[in-house]
Structure 1
Amino acid sequence: MLFLALESATSHQSVAVFRDHHLLASLDCESGRPLTPQLITTIDRLLSSVSLQVSDLEGLVVSIGPGTFTGLRVGLATMTAFRLALQIPLVGVSTLEGLAWNHPLSDLPLLSTINIRQETVYWGLFRWEDQQMVCIKEPQIGKITEVCGALSEPTIVLGDGWIQNRNTLLSKGFPLIEASPNQQWPSAKGTGLAGRVLLERGVFLPQGCTPHYIQPSYAEISKSKVLDPIG
């Protein structure tokens, strides 16, 4: 199956095209530029680099959170539009699971982190078992020092939750093993590999689905205060 993967949950946004489990090409989106107008251009450039057209695609993969409100919303809207236009399946991958797929077939647990603020992170714990990625702890929010303090064995840590809090975590002597620099950010490569499994299983996103923010967006909080000013 020829499919397109999009990772837009963080400031490191990228697209990739696969044929089955083989990566054909990938491109990073330009940081600092509005995401919406450059996504289509970047996808066109990606497909042209391997002599493909959008109409050749047979499947779509998108990161559905957690992550930034705008990045997730734009990414899902873009891939939903492709699904409707092309009438092909779309699957959604947890951003944290996609990040864990950056580190293939490790014997150790994989702690995926996305920084929020002041040592607070999105995190999830994963492990390879019989060449399958298994989620040990579902994506959630927590203090990274508490999360790492509860680890019972050496664990590979990925993501900017680690990057932003590296010195603090190292000083506490937690059993952490740092992933290589090219594995530290969510990417369309990892998201695509995770998504291929869902495409093969037929686990498609339903119509009208929304990203998995885990915590409400600022807009949702503001709206709830207007509707219920006492709360």
Structure 2
Amino acid sequence: MIKIFEYFLKKEIPVLMYHRLINNKDEIGKNTIYLNVDEFEKQLKYLKDNSYITITFKDLYKIPKKERKNKKYIILTFDDGYKDNYNLLFPLLKKYNMKAVIYMVSDEKYNIWDVEASGEKRFDLMSKNEMLEMYKSGLVEFGGHTLHHPKLDTLTEEEQRYEIEENKIYLEKTLGEKLYSFAYPYGIFNETSKKIVKDLGFNYGIATDSGKFYIEDDLYQVRRIGIFSDITMSKFKRRVKGNYNLKYTR
């Protein structure tokens, strides 16, 4: 009975996964990896009103483990680096003084990987200047996400290293700072991918819906919680409690 009680008391820093924000129906694509910006603002307001503290992976790396207890830390992540992250996300981060981590595909101008694979609409990625403006605000941390958004497990070790390392080199040169985390495109990877990410000096490898409950149990397969258009406010509240992923990692 005590073990069961202790089990349900377990908490971990929620790492949320977003992609695109939209503000009109014309921006809805085939894939459901979008969220209306008004719904996103409601989520930020809920986090603010309930004393959550948004941090980045750089922050997490620098915060001593003993200081993480009894703090309502949360990490907001956005994959791919869409232009709407600059147009819609950035103003809200400034309004609520909250942080986010954006995983940037560095050698494409738009979501060509989805356009070619599924006939998805074209959605532009942000420009270098937009990325720099967000970074200089101190509210946005950028992480690696490859040059071209491939499925890493379909590539040779040499090809994987090229995609990951060249993306890292470009972003670090552009930002003038080391990258702390890398997100695997599609959440697809293998043990070779994890080894490369670690060998290249990333502190964290970020997955999607796979990985351990505790971040520290596998730093190179950090589990995230997807937030998409079908997530109601009640579902969102459950996902940020800190124990949502327990049922998937037992």
TM-score, normalised relative to structure 2: 0.28
More helix by share: 2
Relative contact order (C-alpha < 8 Å, sep 6+): which is higher?
1
More strand by share: 1
